[in-house]
Structure 1
Amino acid sequence: MSSTNNDKRIDWIDCSKGITILLVIFGHTISSGGSQLEQVLRGGIFSFHMPLFFILSCITFKLSTEGSQFVKKTEKACRHLVFTALILYGLRTLVNIVNNFHTIEWKGYIAEKINVLVYGSGSNVIVSGTVIPAFGMMWFFVVLFWGRTLFDYLHLKLKKIKFIVAILMSTMIGIVLGCVQWLPLSFDVALVVMPFFWFGDYLKHANLNRKRAAGCIVSLLIWGITFAMSYFIKNDYMELAGRRYPLFPLCYITAMAGTMFICYFSQYMLMLGGLAKPLVYIGRNSIYLYCVHAMDYVYGFIWSRTNSNIVNGMIRIVADVFMCVILVRVIKLIPLLRMRNK
């Protein structure tokens, strides 16, 4: 593939990430117990939003071809993903300590925080009758690290048929564990997302420019029909953090179809030229925006002022994007300041 095509490919991936991270913020603002419209909007967003990031992460990820390369990739991913999760967790813990310093029972508090780290779950975990609080949004970094590392290792060690069988078995084991007992470090979810990495690796070699209009329409129809079946039959939708996989494997089809629609739609957005640039920018910095979003409860008074969750969601998006732009500029400024001081 030519460099020009590669550039376009990166742009539509970034645009897809940009659209979806904004939907993530909006979806997190809408209450699950709100109006029927809010519940449908939330369900529709949740049905594909995190799977999309797992899928796209493998489109841009070069799988290891030898053991030494696997080790280097794993070390790099650990620094980028696990370290980021720990920093966010540390910041959130610090804010909590500052706000509740005089009421904290330190022995129990420290034990609880350690347990939260051990499980790294996006939702509260019950272990032997004890409730362990959620790790929060940082679960995504943990699952992306473990899941993609395992996927890379299986791809390195197994031939095609055995590799596919291992993916399917891992998924089934993860789903069963999600019904029985959630694992430390959200490892059961890391098993569950294996098909998304496989699908991303498949799309890496696919030509999405062919029959773009048909692909856009078909993927939207498949997503709409399968989501409607899941939502109105089970009154549920896929939510990885909560280990909810209704009408398996239909929920996987919903997630993949939703991802495909966003990818095709992003390609059409790029045809509009300048109108897509903000989305591409947001997509390229989606990791920073996700981090900002994980901390935006600090200025929740800004985006939770109205009685409408939909309006609040829009305000929250604007506030988070604004903070993200500042964060990105500060990060880019740090190397320049270091160079001046030398």
Structure 2
Amino acid sequence: MYTEINKVGEIMRKRVMWIDIARGIAMLSMIVGHSLFQYTFSGVGRYIYAVHMPLFFILSGYLYREKTYEKELKGAAKNLLLPYFATSLVMIAVFFVAQLKSPWLVQNYPASFDDLLSAVFYGIGVGSKVPFPTYVYPIGALWFLMAMMIALQIFNLIIVLTKGMTNKRFVRLFVISIFAVLGKITASVWLLPLSFNAALFALVFLYVGYLMREENVLEHISHIMVIVGLLAWIIAASNQMFQLAMVEAPDALLSVIGAVGGTLVVVKFSQWIAKVGTVAKMLGRVGQFSIIVLCFHNVDLTFSMVPTMIMSSSFTQNVILKIVIINLYRLIIPVLALVLIPRIPGVRSLYLNRQYPFLKRKPDLVVKKKTN
């Protein structure tokens, strides 16, 4: 019996490791995707955007467990909204520092403090598309936290309401497909607040991950599945650019197929990497603290002038070399945050509330009955 328990524990540790590695790969890919400049819509950009954000939703669906509405909302508030607004406060602080005319920081972006507040509370990742005469600044990569929060609430509601149905898989697929289509169609004329469009479309990826867990797919990815997944990824990325933040893809079905195929490839690669000591540890740490990397990359992405200074410099005319240097620079602030924040009491609870809650749970009291 103890041998079986140890084996189960070992499997779970390996599972967690490859999930963290896959998240780490996706997060580093996101940083690269944000630092390609004129090559954003190139082949490299299309391959990255085809899978890096969908992978997070697929893995979240894979790890999903049914909860009460209250528990799901409470968990999302602590683990997604808390870092969202904590980072927003950091961005507000940097915004005011930038007004001191620092050459290292973007000035007058957003144009005013009110515009920055609007960006925080509207919560979209790209320039506004709204049916009224105003402009809402994007909050940047933080859109993902809002979209994940909304998507998990809707997804949990669907799972709970349909759990007693005999044909629940079909009903869930039908309802989620309707929501995804609504998210896609609406995004063409109006990017709704809180990245609602992306959240509706991302329900598809959550459900894919959920089904993969039910069928134990990711634990047993065959070589044939990797080949088919790679082909799907190649076909999707070769034919279109998929941007989940604005739900923009000429062929939505192809974007889903490509994202699922790419996820299979990345996960299989992550499972292989998990066996390679130091590399696995580094990527696993990035994945484990991916929310910190995301948040502080967003601060750098929004306000740093360094990438623009590198691109405009004359030390070399090789644009690709400049982009490589920019990508190396883009790692500095997220990595520093990754190292420091887990070590700072209070601050770490804002970003890693699951591991470091503000209030520790009281241990259950075991009352022993006296025996006569």
* TM superposition score normalised by structure 1: 0.85
Q: Which runs of no fewer than 5 residues in structure 2 stay unpaired?
A: 1-6, 102-106, 312-318, 350-355, 359-372
The answer as to 2:21 corresponding to 1:21 is no
- Distance in 2 (CA, whole Å) between partners of 1:259 and 1:331 is 35
* 1:266 and 2:266 matched: no
> Aligned pairs, how many?
322
CA distance 1:215–1:314, change in 2 (3 Å): farther
Structure 2 residue aligned with 1:6: 12
Aligned to 2:62: 59
Matched, 1:287 2:296: no
Q: In structure 1, list runs of 5 or more residues that go unmatched.
A: 231-236
Q: Name the amino acid aligned to 1:167.
A: I
Q: Does 1:310 align with 2:315?
A: no
The residue aligned with 1:74 is 73
Find out whether 1:252 has 2:223 as its counterpart: no
Alignment of 1:40-59 (within 5 A): 40-59=43-62
- CA separation of 1:14 and 1:303: change in aligned 2, threshold 3 A: farther
Shift in Å at residue 54 of structure 1? 1.1
| Pairing partner for 2:200 from 191, 194, 212 | 191
Q: Label 1:165 to 1:289 Cα distance change in 2 as closer, same or farther (>3 A).
A: same
Alpha-carbon distance in structure 1 between the residues aligned to 2:173 and 2:62: 17
The match for 2:185 is: 176
Q: Secondary structure at the match of 2:191?
A: coil
Provide closer, same or farther for how the CA distance between residues 195 and 302 of structure 1 changes in structure 2, counting only shifts above 3 A.
closer
Q: 1:157 to 1:249 in 2, by over 3 A?
A: same
- 1:300/1:268 CA distance change after superposition, 3 Å: farther
Asked if the contact 1:303/1:319 (under 8 Å) is kept, the reply is no
Deviations 1:136-156 (A, max 9, x none): 221111000001110001111
Runs of 4+ displaced beyond 4 Å:
101-104, 297-300, 331-336
**Alpha-carbon distance between aligned partners in 2 of 1:118 and 1:322, rounded to the nearest angstrom:** 27
Is contact 1:215–1:264 with CA below 8 Å preserved after alignment?
Answer: no
Identical aligned pairs, as a percentage? 25
| Residue equivalent to 2:119 | 116
State the match for 2:353 in structure 1: none
Higher radius of gyration, 1 or 2:
2
Q: 2:36 aligns with which of 16, 30, 41?
A: 30
Matched, 1:224 2:234: yes
Aligned to 1:99: 98
Equivalent residues in 2 for 1:161-172, closer than 5 Å:
161-172=170-181
CA distance in 2, matches of 1:318, 1:100: 23
Aligned to 2:361: none
Deviation at 1:302, TM superposition (A): 7.9
Query: What is the rounded CA distance, in whole Å, between the counterparts of 1:334 and 1:153 in structure 2?
Result: 30
Return the offset for 1:93: 1.9
The corresponding residue for 2:338 is 324
The secondary structure found in structure 1 opposite 2:233 is helix
Note the aligned Cα RMSD (angstroms). Answer: 2.9
Shift of 1:26: 1.1
- State the 1:246 CA deviation: 2.1
1:43 maps to amino acid: R
Report Cα offsets for 1:162-209 as digits up to 9, x if no partner.
222110100011111011222122212211111000011112231434
CA distance, structure 1, for counterparts of residue 120 and residue 348 of structure 2: 30
Q: 1:249 Cα shift?
A: 0.9
**Rounded Cα–Cα distance in structure 1 between residues aligned with 2:81 and 2:347:** 24
Matched, 1:143 2:147: yes
The code of the aligned residue for 2:151 comes to G
| Aligned CA distance change for structure 1 residues 217 and 332 (closer, same or farther; 3 Å) | farther
Assess if the C-alpha contact under 8 Å between 2:46 and 2:238 holds in 1. Answer: no
> What is the aligned partner in structure 2 of residue 234 from structure 1?
none
2:306 maps to which of 282, 301, 304: 301
CA distance in structure 1 between the aligned counterparts of 2:183 and 2:171, rounded to whole angstroms: 18
Between the aligned partners of 1:276 and 1:113, the Cα distance in structure 2 is 38
Q: State the shift of 1:330 in Å.
A: 3.0
